[in-house]
Amino acid sequence: MVFPGTFLGVWNLLQISGRESVLSISPAWLQAHGHAQVFGWVGSFILGIGFYSIPKMRGGAKSSFGTAWICWAMWTTGAALRWAANVYLWEWRFLLPLSAFLELAAFLIFFRAVSQHRPEASGKEKLGPWIWVVISASMGLLLVLVVNLCGCLFVSFRAASPAFPHLFDQRYLALMAWGFLVPFVWGFSAKWMTVFLGLKPLRTRWLLAALVVNLTGLELTVAGAGWIGSWLFVVAAAMAVTALRMFEASEKEAKIRGVHSSFPFFVRMAYIWLIVAAALGVAATRWDTSGGIWGASRHALTVGFISVMILSVGQRILPAFAGMRMLWSTKLMFAGLAFVTLGCTLRVSCEIIAYQGYAAWAWSVLPISALCELAGLTIYAINILGTFVLEPSHAQKQPLVVGLPVKIS
């Protein structure tokens, strides 16, 4: 799912750089790229992890697997239809709302399955703070999907093209970024990073306060007070970093067995990108005249924060989730992360310089940035594929004899 959106993003950026103008590209194509990346790739990753963590699924009940497959089919069809309708414009007035409806329905199936999950034993155990953050992110995703459906219905009845109107799209993107993507990463960081990086214990109140400040910033931004809202995103990001103790000396050794030793570095790097994204958001509300500072802020967040985090955490957990496999290649893990980070650095800096008209040479760096990001994401996909196809699972390593695992000498 990473490829349709990435290829379109690269294609768009090559066109924009060639013509030295973002206005020459169809907004429907830009939006098809954004949608495919956020829903097709990141969304599928999140739904997959959510389903995995439901104990009933791990118990292997057939009906639960059926539910997961139905959800996957609807979600994937919805994302694919949106991509095709925006790019080819074929029957888009019908396909756009259909795709939004399928995605919303898939999420509701997922949500029903996840919300039936009760903590073990009495079911009265206290929910960890990270769960509240993930619940908030899930509500954010639900809201994004509802707004997306409304937007699709609006353009399908009223507009001349499948692209959302600019102002609506900007606020919808803010909701997607700060209402859904960011809290999800904070929630899962709170659950995993203390252990993975050996960090000092989480400051729970700071994390919950960061969530409240973030939601306030989001409300203000969506209401049109983007200047104050963007400042609140900076404060919230700094509070989340403080809560997670991301940049304090670790208490224990990081758990890097099976992954590249640079894993803790890249996770911290992702959080630096989060701060950069929030700071650029403030700069954009003040100085953006071309969409370049907004674009740089958006990609510092989606590529620098979200993608670097998925490449780091995905390669840490997915092999284990898929039958206790080992990651195929730790060197490829490093190469993928290095390419994405390099591409993102070039992109974020040169997008501002080029789009804002500060220096013309920056236009020629943007295609290189796109190819670096494409290379990084492709290496990641190859490594995950190699892990699933070539690495033996736990079951293959330890065959069962009369129900008991036997050790292979």
12 binding ligand HEM? (CB under 6 A): yes
180 or 254, CB closer to ligand HEM? 180
243 or 333, CB closer to ligand HEM? 333
129 or 180, CB closer to ligand HEM? 180
Do 292 and 261 contact (CB within 8 A), yes or no?
no
262 or 378, CB closer to ligand HEM? 378
9 binding ligand HEM? (CB under 6 A): yes
1 or 71, CB closer to ligand HEM? 1
38 binding ligand HEM? (CB under 6 A): yes
State which of residues 22, 234, 244, 267 lies at the interface with ligand HEM (CB under 6 A): 22
99 binding ligand HEM? (CB under 6 A): no
298 binding ligand HEM? (CB under 6 A): yes
Cβ-closest residue to ligand HEM? Answer: 295
Dist. CA 294–CA 170, nearest whole Å: 9
CB of 163 to ligand HEM, least distance (A): 8
Per CB under 6 A, contacts with ligand HEM among 345-404 are: 370, 373-374
297 binding ligand HEM? (CB under 6 A): no
Stretch of residues binding ligand HEM (CB under 6 A), selected from 116-124, 197-205, 259-267, 293-301: 293-301
CA 214 and chain centroid, separation: 17
97 or 295, CB closer to ligand HEM? 295
State which of residues 307, 312, 315, 341 lies at the interface with ligand HEM (CB under 6 A): 307
CB of 375 to ligand HEM, least distance (A): 9
232 or 306, CB closer to ligand HEM? 306
33 binding ligand HEM? (CB under 6 A): yes
What is the three-state SS of the chain? Answer: CHHHHHHHHHHHHHHHHHHCCCCCCCHHHHHHHHHHHHHHHHHHHHHHHHHHCCHHHHHCCHHHHHHHHHHHHHHHHHHHHHHHHHHHCCCHHHHHHHHHHHHHHHHHHHHHHHHCCCCCCCCCCCCCHHHHHHHHHHHHHHHHHHHHHHHHHHHHHHCCCCCCCHHHHHHHHHHHHHHHHHHHHHHHHHHHHHHHHCCCCCCHHHHHHHHHHHHHHHHHHHCCCHHHHHHHHHHHHHHHHHHHCCCCCCCCCCCCCCCCCCHHHHHHHHHHHHHHHHHHHHHHHHHCCCCHHHHHHHHHHHHHHHHHHHHHHHHHHHHHHCCCCCCCCHHHHHHHHHHHHHHHHHHHHHHHHHHCCCCCCHHHHHHHHHHHHHHHHHHHHHHHHHHHHHCCCHHHHCCEECCEECCCC
- Binding-residue total with ligand HEM (CB under 6 A): 26
82 binding ligand HEM? (CB under 6 A): no
Stretch of residues binding ligand HEM (CB under 6 A), selected from 189-197, 220-228, 291-299, 328-336: 291-299
CB of 76 to ligand HEM, least distance (A): 16
State which of residues 302, 315, 329, 383 lies at the interface with ligand HEM (CB under 6 A): 302
User: Exposed, middle or buried: residue 281 (CB in 10 Å: 0-12, 13-18, 19+)?
Assistant: buried
**Contacts with ligand HEM, residue ranges (CB under 6 A):** 6, 9-10, 12-13, 16, 22, 30-31, 33-34, 37-38, 42, 169, 173, 295, 298-299, 302-303, 306-307, 370, 373-374
